[in-house]
């Protein structure tokens, strides 16, 4: 079978690569053409466009780059028509993917979606478009199946792929890790400022502003695979700050606490059982627009899944040095650490067991087998 996969961002690349591996186990003749990143490229097939080429954060950034985005959409449609895949698999990245899905359905391509757009967060009217344009949806959050059922759309809950990604990784020897990256013996506080330049610029400065008040700890910036060290270097002014590129999971596995930009990283941090403060600050125009269309009580996946405040969220004006110091002191308290561990354990149970990529791959392949009979 010929699979055309469209993923965006580092997390989409990770989940896309694991789905591709699972599809290869189902289909020995699997051929891939995809939009993604280095991890997907490592599995095999043809990389059409790297996600680095289309990283736009927020409404304002999308508008200013609209011409480029429209050009990419046009190119993607042309590339799909040339390739003639048996199925198109969309991974998250709704702004781009839902536009392609509409066109693809009109052209009678088979359309599957792995990792739902966050329609439960805003613009729920998009569900009707998804029902029209997507043949099968595979969701990874437990509340999403119930959400879609209220719109009479039956979707498949396959569990969360991060469970597999974390469980299957090679364990880190902390001593060797510290030695390799020349870290001192102090407990580590991980800084996860995001993956896009816009969000790193907004987050990293305020995260680093608390360093001098925690001299008993070593701060380590988790560098995103999409950015070079040269981008981070101007932010680093204290001696007690280290930088490690593209080793976020290894870093979290040896960390005592973390300051984390809202997104998938909040869930990853929780699955490593690391106490965290969730940070979010956007372009002021983008934030004002978002406030008017997002209907959620929380912004972090941890709190959304648990439906209560497990981790503190510092949003926009609340994300300042004074408040961040206070919350960091709080999560470093030993009693709080025990509380986090218990809450995170409950969170992991809600996410289901291992095998999300395998379950999704089985369902996709089975549907294609039915089509070809």
For the chain, the domains span 2-159+355-372, 167-350
Residues ≥6 apart with Cβ < 8 Å to 112: 87, 88, 89, 90, 134, 135, 136, 137, 138, 364, 367
Tokens representing residue 326 in the block: 């206070």
Instruction: Quote the CATH superfamily of domain 167-350.
Output: Glycogen Phosphorylase B; (3.40.50.2000)
Query: Are 161 and 15 within 8 A, CB to CB?
Result: yes
The token pair that represents 50 in the structure block: 């790297």
Q: Are 74 and 81 in contact (CB under 8 A)?
A: no
Q: Does the domain formed by 2-159+355-372 have CATH 3.10.25.10? A: no
Asked if 2-159+355-372 and 167-350 have one fold, the answer is: yes
pLDDT in tens, 290-339: 555 555 789 899 999 999 999 999 998 999 999 999 999 999 999 999 99
Other Cβ atoms closer than 10 A to 178: 17
Q: Where are the alpha helices (DSSP H) in the chain?
A: 9-26, 38-43, 58-64, 66-83, 94-106, 126-133, 142-149, 161-167, 174-180, 197-208, 229-232, 248-253, 264-271, 284-293, 301-306, 321-331, 334-350, 356-372
Predicted confidence (pLDDT) per residue in 329-373, tens digit: 999 999 999 999 999 999 999 998 889 999 999 999 999 986 554
Q: Taking the complete model, does pTM exceed 0.85, yes or no?
A: no
Q: Cα angle at 261 between 257 and 265, to 5 degrees?
A: 75
Q: Are 30 and 24 in contact (CB under 8 A)?
A: yes
9 closest CA partner among 264, 360, 346:
264
Element (H, E) at 221: strand 218-223
pLDDT tens for each residue of 150-190: 999 999 999 999 998 898 888 999 999 999 999 999 999 99
Confidence of residue 284 (pLDDT cuts 50, 70, 90): low
**Number of residues that make up the chain:** 373
Whole-number pLDDT of residue 285: 56
């Amino acid at each position: 079978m010929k699979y055309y996969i469209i993923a965006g961002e580092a997390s989409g690349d990770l989940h896309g690569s694991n789905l591709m591996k699972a599809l290869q186990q189902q289909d020995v003749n699997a051929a891939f053409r995809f939009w993604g990143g280095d991890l997907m490229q490592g599995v095999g097939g043809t990389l059409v466009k790297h996600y680095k080429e289309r990283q736009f954060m927020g409404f304002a950034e999308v508008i200013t780059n609209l011409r480029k985005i429209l050009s990419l959409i046009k190119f993607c449609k042309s590339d799909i028509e040339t390739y003639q895949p048996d199925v198109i698999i969309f991974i998250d990245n709704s702004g781009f993917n839902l536009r392609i899905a509409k066109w693809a359905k009109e052209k009678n391509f088979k359309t599957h979606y792995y990792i739902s757009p966050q329609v439960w967060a805003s613009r729920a009217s998009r569900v009707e478009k998804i029902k029209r344009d997507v043949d099968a949806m595979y969701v990874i959050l437990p509340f999403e199946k119930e959400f879609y059922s209220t719109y009479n759309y039956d979707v498949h809950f396959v569990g969360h792929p991060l469970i597999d990604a974390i469980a299957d990784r090679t364990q880190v020897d902390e001593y060797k890790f510290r030695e390799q990256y020349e870290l001192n013996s102090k407990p580590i506080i991980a800084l996860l400022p995001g993956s896009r330049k816009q969000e790193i610029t907004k987050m990293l400065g305020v995260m680093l502003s608390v360093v001098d008040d925690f001299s008993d700890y070593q701060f380590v910036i988790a560098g995103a695979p999409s950015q070079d060290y040269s981008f981070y270097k101007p932010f680093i002014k204290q001696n007690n700050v280290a930088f490690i590129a593209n080793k976020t999971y290894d870093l979290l596995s040896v960390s005592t606490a973390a300051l984390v930009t809202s997104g998938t990283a909040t869930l990853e941090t929780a699955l490593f059982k690391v106490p965290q403060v969730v940070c979010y600050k956007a372009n002021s125009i983008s934030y004002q627009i978002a406030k008017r269309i997002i209907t959620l009580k929380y912004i972090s996946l941890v709190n959304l899944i648990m439906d209560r405040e497990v981790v503190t969220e510092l949003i926009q004006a609340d994300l300042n040095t004074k408040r961040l110091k206070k919350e960091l002191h709080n999560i470093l308290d030993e009693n709080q650490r025990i509380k986090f561990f218990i809450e995170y354990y409950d969170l992991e149970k809600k996410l289901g067991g291992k095998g999300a990529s395998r379950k999704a791959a089985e369902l996709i392949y089975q549907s294609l087998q039915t089509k070809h009979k």
